[in-house]
Structure 1
Amino acid sequence: MKQFLIIALCATSLTTLAPAMTEAAQIKRACLASDRSAATRDRCKCIQRVADQALTNKDQKTVAKWFTDPHQAQELKMSKSARDDALWERYQNFGRMAQAICS
């Protein structure tokens, strides 16, 4: 019985963590998939570490899309909403940090 409870607890923990694990490293994956010559494994890993500090998971999901469609970033930058302005400010801060740390 004790073993069954431990297995059940572990299974419950894994299913709870699964969404977070699938969302992890979005920036790193997008970086590695880009056609930029500077997108090395080490640099993309470093950029992901900075993203984890500077951006929320939701921000990272949005920013990761910009690697394949930079026009989305331009649309957000030109937006007049306060929420978009706040994301753009966080993104710029992230960019400055990544450049300083990962270059």
Structure 2
Amino acid sequence: MKSTLLIGAVAALTALSACGGGGGSVSRNAGPDYRVARMASGPISRACVSSDRKARSPELCGCIQGAANIELTGADQRMAVSFYKDPHKAQEVRQSDRSSHEDFWKRYKSYVDRAESQCRGL
């Protein structure tokens, strides 16, 4: 049951994360819960906009990309985009014993948490 929920959450978050990109300004003055740019563009944004999720929008996708720009490297973003094409890959990476996958997953979780908190309601 937990595994099914996790896969669903990862898929939903991946869809959210694919909705933004690498442009726009970020204000870091407000402390840990500062807002990300709403119209960022990049690989996650493009994947988000191209996804079949009903909730996708340029604003949501841009916000998610803004979160990705803060939390993920370019290589991390490319890995996250691959989850759109193959959602099962997210589960494989999460359960992998490779230290690089474990490190990625920590960054990915931070990204997901940021995107969820900052892009809610878009």
TM-score bracket, shorter-length normalisation: 0.7 to 0.9
Task: Select 1:78's aligned residue among 95, 108, 112.
Answer: 95
Q: C-alpha displacement at 1:68, in angstroms?
A: 2.0
Aligned length, in residue pairs:
80
RMSD between superposed Cα atoms in Å: 1.0
Work out the CA distance in 2 between the residues paired with 1:91 and 1:71. Answer: 15
Percentage of identical aligned residues: 36
The corresponding residue for 2:84 is 67
**Any conservation in 2 of the 1:55–1:91 contact (CA below 8 Å)?**
yes
Q: C-alpha displacement at 1:87, in angstroms?
A: 0.3
The corresponding residue for 1:92 is 109
Gaps of 5+ in 1: 1-23
The corresponding residue for 1:36 is 53
Work out the CA distance in 2 between the residues paired with 1:62 and 1:39. Answer: 20
TM-score, length-scaled by structure 2: 0.63
Who wins on radius of gyration, i.e. which is larger? Answer: 1
Work out the CA distance in 2 between the residues paired with 1:63 and 1:89. Answer: 13
* 1:15-55 residue CA offsets vs partner (Å, 9 max, x unmatched): xxxxxxxxx60000011111111111100000001100000
Aligned letter for 2:72? Answer: L
Instruction: Show structure 1 runs of 4+ deviating over 6 A.
Output: none
Gaps of 5+ in 2: 1-40
Secondary structure of 1:67's counterpart equals helix
**Any conservation in 2 of the 1:30–1:65 contact (CA below 8 Å)?**
no
TM-score, length-scaled by structure 1: 0.74
Q: Which has the higher helix share?
A: 1
Work out the CA distance in 2 between the residues paired with 1:88 and 1:63. Answer: 10
**Any conservation in 2 of the 1:34–1:68 contact (CA below 8 Å)?**
no
